[in-house]
Amino acid sequence: MNKKQIHPVKSAKSGAKQLNRVKKVVKKNVEKAQASGAELQKMALKEYDKIKKQMDATSKKVEVYVKKNPAKAAAISAGIGMALGAVAGILAAGGEKKKK
């Protein structure tokens, strides 16, 4: 039988070269992922600021409405409270009717 002999030094050098190539690819992918993460964070902060401004504007509009129409605002609040109370009661009862 004629077996091909593997030279240990050549094999080690080849493995080291391959390892370096893999290392470069992994490093490049990590850098891309970090850049993508930073970009996503930047976008999320922009959206947060945008939503916060919208919520502040809406809050001011509600405040003005309540000051101009206190009776209507109280009636609306009472209606919303009753609706939420009814929903909470149904959920607490498990949605089942009591048997007589």
Residue 50 has pLDDT above 70, yes or no: yes
Q: What is the mean pLDDT of the chain?
A: 88
Output the pLDDT for position 76. Answer: 93
Burial class (CB in 10 A: 0-12, 13-18, 19+), 66: middle
DSSP string, 55-80: HHHHHHHHHHHHHH-HHHHHHHHHHH
pLDDT grade for 11, boundaries at 50, 70 and 90: confident
Higher-pLDDT residue of 4 and 77 is 77
Higher-pLDDT residue of 90 and 100 is 90
Instruction: Locate the domains of the chain by residue range.
Output: 10-62, 69-100
Residue 5 has pLDDT above 80, yes or no: no
